[in-house]
Each structure stands twice: as C-alpha cells, then as structure tokens.
Amino acid sequence: MKRLSQPVLLVVAAVVVMILFSRDLAPIGNSSEPPAVAPALAPPAPARKTTPEMAAGTAWAPRHSYDYPAPPPGLPAGLPPPQPLDQYAVLAWNDLGMHCYQADFSTLQILPPYNVFWAQVIRRGQKPAVITQDVKLRYETLHVTDPVRHSNFWDYAAAYGWKLEPGVGLKGKRTSGTMEAAADHFVADGVPVVDFSDDGTWDPFPMFTVSVQDPAGQTLAQTVNVAPASTEMSCDLCHVADTPQGSMADILKAHDKNERTDLLRQAQAGKPVLCCSCHADPAMGVTECKDCELTLSSAMHGFHASKVKEPGRRLPKNVCHSCHPGPQTKCLRDVMSQSGITCTDCHGAMEIVAARTRTPWTTMPSCATCHTEDLQDPEEVTIESPNEHLTKDSASLYRHSKAHGGGGIYCCACHGSPHTITPAAMVRDNEQAVRLQGEEGPISKCMVCHLEKPDGEFWHFRKPE
C-alpha cells in the first residue's frame, strides 16, 4: 500500500476535524445548540470625530467592569456659586438616585440613556405656596453637553425603531433645556445623561442646575443636584468576553440555548435585540409581555438568583452590584447605607423581587416597613402611612409621596432621591441642602421656605434656625 505524503495526511485530518465539529459550527437555525464561537455582530458604528481622550480609550469606548476607576471626588469645577434666598426657593432632585444604561448598544438593549429631573418652586412667605405658573424652569447638565461623543446609542437608535437626532433622548430632551410644568411640580423626562464628561473623564455623578426664571428670562432662584448615570453593569463578570459586545453576544447565546430563540443570529444580521419587545418593562413604557410569561425584572432576578449565591445562604453584601451600578458607582449611598443597611434589607431577596405577582417599578419597599414611630421623642409627629411592607400603586412610592405643607411637598424635595436620602455618603448629593440651609441632611430649617418661623406641629425633627 502506497504511503500518503505528509501534505495529503494534513488535508485528510483537516476534513475529519471539520466533520466532527460541523455540528458546533452550523448556523443557529439548523442546530439544537448555539455556535461555539459567536459570529460577527452588527456593522461597526459610523466613524466619528475623535479627540485625544477618545483615542486613549477614555471616552465612549466601553470598558471591562474591572476597569472602572473611582469617581472624581468633591464638587465639580464650574459649579455656579450659591444664591441667597429671596422671593423664591427651588428644590430639585433625580427621580431614582441612579440610572443605569449600557456601554454598548450594537447587540441588545436593556435600558437607554434616560434620566428624569424633578423640581418644586416655592413662593416664600408667611404661608409659602408651591407654584407652577408665571415662571419657567431651565435645567443644564454640567460638563455633559455632547453625549453622542460618549455613547453609541444614537448610532443604533434607528435599529431599535427610534428616529432620533443625535444627542436627543427618547422624550425629545437634550442634556440642557426647559422643564415642563405639571400640577404641583416641574419635570424633565428622558434627559440623555451619560457617565463621561466632555473632557472624557468617567463620572457617574454629573451635576445639573435648575434655574427659576420670570417671563423675561430673569433668574429668580437656582439650585444644584446630581444627575446620576452609569454604565457599570458588570455583565462580563459571568458573560466573559474580550469586549462588551462579546458579553452581550454571550447573553443572547445563553438565551437562545435556554429558550430556543434565534436572537444571536438576529443581532448578527444587524437587528439588535430590544429586551422589552418581548418582556414587559414599565421603565420602558411596556406593561404587557409579548410571547413570554415573565416581565424583564422577573426574568432577570429569577434566573440569576441561583447564580450569585450558595444554596441556603443570604446574598453577599455587594451582590446587587454585580448587575446594578456598581463597586465604583455605589448606587446605594444614602444615610441608611452608612448604618449597614443593604439593598436586600429593603428590597428583599432576589426571589422576592422576581415574584410574578410583583409589578416592576411599582411594587417597591415602603418606608413604613421600618419608620413607624419615633420611640426616642414622643412629642415628634409621625406621618401615618397606609401601606405596609410593599407599595401598592405608583402614587404610594417614596418618590411620588407628599406630606408637608398640606400634602404639597414631595418627600424627595427635602429628603433626597431614593438611594441618596440625606445625609448621603457623597458630597455632591448633599450640596443642595448645604446651599439652602447651611448643612447636610433633610431640609428641615423653616426659614428655607417661611419668612417667619411658624408655630405648631412639624413633620419630623426641627433643626434650630
């Protein structure tokens, strides 16, 4: 028998290997298993003008979760100086205390850049009044004027079905603009804040100003607060890949394997996956599931609950930061966190958050779970809460609750946003209180709103003037 030459043997061996592994290399649609190697995803984003910071990788380009630096300390440069109180006082806040969004949108989307600013204007006097007429409110996100430079969201917005001008958010807002008047407050909904400042510095806590103006444009009052946003969603802790795009691809690969979907090939074909197109997500305005049984919150928390803890043991203290921003961002940074309170002390275990009976973003912890009465000061007036451990509707959420002033002042106006209830761990979160009353903590000095110190009962502890 004639001996085969070495080149021929190599060819034969290569053919055998191809046959043996053809099942793993077959297209997703013709295989019961996803491919072993993720195919190329959506086409690269259009070339954009670069700066030295971008070329160094400090601008919009995504990072690994372990590459995030510590946020800049202290107050940012260029913050406008405090203004003395006059005829009006304005209180502003962010609705959640943290907004997360993705570092890359070429493959799938959970949440876009989307921030919400609230404000209340108070006409100071012997009987202060909340007003929404005869004034206009302007907001400005400091050092975040061109979010397009730092996120590829706008490169792929059309692929998700949105026709947006560069730098414009889902509700038509830019990082600076005018707030809309509601019944008792002003709001800027859908501000596309990103976690990079204009100079390329990673900063999940940019600050924004709110200015009260008369019809002629004269500034009557001004305040500052934090517009938090972070891409520190550490998917690559488990969905390991060389790039964030690869991590997103691995997520779709796992979804295809477990649910017999075809999402990775869809993304490969240039149609990135919008998670709320199937899973209900009230944060995205989608309240009904399509071709599925679980809300996005239920699916995410339920599936991952067993992945992040050992059976029969509590969640590690920081496990929520495996997905929610994050070891550097420190999503929870309020007064309670400084006393050892963790995410699960309020929200419960992941299995509770994943319950199918829960309405995401509405069924949330109630303050009255712990704050029922003050045992140290029997003379202190306590707000009666109709709710128990969980809120029952949107109006009973902390961020929508009102009390002082005949029920006209939002709790957040004086106490701070959820997750940043004052005195918070960060200087920036306390700056509004410091400017209005000279110290950190809830706004509780009467003269912030009153021209004369009132008599009678006051909700909570009253600080000396």
Q: Is residue 114 part of a domain?
A: yes
pTM for the structure as a whole: 0.82
Name the token pair of 338: 């400084």
In terms of residue numbers, what domain contains 378?
A: 88-233+356-448
Name the token pair of 151: 């996120």
Q: Is residue 264 part of a domain?
A: no
Name the token pair of 157: 């917005």
Domains identified in the chain, total number: 1
**Residues forming a β-bridge with 9:** none
Question: Distance between CA 449 and CA 427 in Å, rounded?
Answer: 23
Half-sphere exposure of 455 (CA within 13 A, CB side): 0
Question: Distance between CA 98 and CA 331 in Å, rounded?
Answer: 6
Q: Is residue 435 part of a domain?
A: yes
Judging by beta carbons within 10 Å of its beta carbon (0-12, 13-18, 19+), is residue 373 exposed, middle or buried? exposed
Question: Distance between CA 279 and CA 363 in Å, rounded?
Answer: 17
Q: Is residue 343 part of a domain?
A: no
Q: Is residue 100 part of a domain?
A: yes
Q: Is residue 328 part of a domain?
A: no
Location of structure tokens 């990079």: 196
Location of structure tokens 């004369």: 452
Q: Is residue 152 part of a domain?
A: yes
pLDDT tens by residue, the chain, 465 residues: 444 454 444 443 443 333 333 333 222 222 222 222 223 333 333 333 333 333 333 344 445 777 888 899 999 999 999 999 999 999 999 999 999 998 899 999 999 999 999 999 999 999 999 999 999 999 999 999 999 999 999 999 999 999 999 999 999 999 999 999 999 999 999 999 999 999 999 999 999 999 999 999 999 999 999 999 999 988 888 887 777 688 899 999 999 999 999 999 999 999 999 999 999 998 898 888 888 889 999 999 999 988 876 555 555 666 888 889 988 898 899 999 998 888 888 888 888 888 888 888 888 888 877 776 654 454 544 554 444 567 777 777 888 888 765 668 999 999 999 999 999 999 999 999 999 999 999 998 999 999 988 876 665 555 566
Q: Is residue 336 part of a domain?
A: no
How many C-beta atoms lie closer than 10 Å to residue 443's C-beta?
21
